[in-house]
A and B are shown apart, each in its own frame.
Chain A
């Protein structure tokens, strides 16, 4: 048996109002429909003429039918209000929806990261072979920059506002003789730089 909850006055009033509207609308539909059916009964003796009685019955049925439709519309509005109240205040289902969404997003993130990690491992192997090919190819000169340095400079030239880095790059170009030894080392050990950069 659920204990009596102490709701704020507004919420309790609102729910009581919903109950009242429900009861009133259902009663309105049933009463008006019953009266229409009663009015449809043909009576032989009437106090007024048949035409007048017919007109009166016709008008009454119109009004009662309109009341039934109004009560139906009011019930639809009540259902809409209940849906809104449910979405905002049904905490168990909101909590479930949030935890389900979090779970789905986290699983997507983990899957993405797992695939990126496996991709990294595969690419590392291929990059090793590419660098072997590059440093042992006839196109590569011992005075050329190492592959990582060439990519770094290309990235810095490609991005604007990095004039400082490009200036640094120019200064490094002037320091050719000392770097030739390191370049020779890289030529002998073609993947030396890459091995430094590999995690």
Chain B
């Protein structure tokens, strides 16, 4: 859920860049002697839709934050689960080391016999 909102904000950033690009393209096209009317129309529609989308998306995000924000810091953490997992991995690593030693001992014994 958090990732979706953050991705939406990243899309908004791309839309803002699109707004500036469309504005630049329109002015560039107007500076020419012969204008391409269809190109101008397309760019203008794109510009307006991008502006509307940016405004609506950011307003929605601010409205959501107004409903959700409490002003208190969040005190949850994943420390205990992370520690337990780390201990389990340490147990596995220790078992691996001991099995390695056992294997080497068996090889030494076999070499001595041969």
Chain A residues at the B interface, C-beta cutoff of 8 Å: 2, 5, 7-8, 10-12, 15, 18-19, 22, 26, 29-30, 33, 36-37, 40, 61, 65, 68-69, 72, 75-76, 78-79, 82-83, 85-98, 101-102, 105-106, 108-109, 112-113, 115-116, 119, 123, 130, 139
Give B4-28 as 1s and 0s: 1 = Cβ < 8 Å from A's Cβ atoms: 0110010011001101100100110
Cα A26 to Cα B19 in complex, Å, equals: 11
* Chain B interface mostly: helix
Interface size range of chain B in the complex: 35 or more
Instruction: Please name the residue on chain B nearest to A65 by beta carbon.
Output: B27
Candidates A11, A18, A83, A88; contact of B9 at CB < 8 Å: A83
Of the candidates B5, B20, B47, B74, which one forms a contact with A86 in the assembled complex, judged by CB atoms under 8 Å apart? B5
What's the Cα separation between A11 and B66 when bound, in Å?
Answer: 9
Q: Would you call A22 and B62 a contact (CB within 8 A)?
A: yes
How many A-B Cβ pairs are below 8 Å?
A: 144
10 additional contacts (CB under 8 A) given A40-B30, A86-B2:
A5-B66, A15-B66, A68-B20, A79-B16, A89-B65, A90-B2, A105-B78, A112-B89, A112-B92, A139-B109
* A–B Cβ pairs within 8 angstroms, 6 of them: A26-B51, A86-B61, A94-B76, A97-B2, A108-B88, A112-B88
8 A-B pairs with least C-beta separation: A93-B2, A8-B71, A105-B81, A112-B88, A109-B88, A89-B69, A105-B85, A102-B81
Q: Is the CB of A69 within 8 A of B20?
A: yes
Contact in complex: B84, A96 (CB < 8 Å): no
Which residue of B has the minimal Cβ distance to A32?
A: B23
B45 part of interface (Cβ distance < 8 Å): no
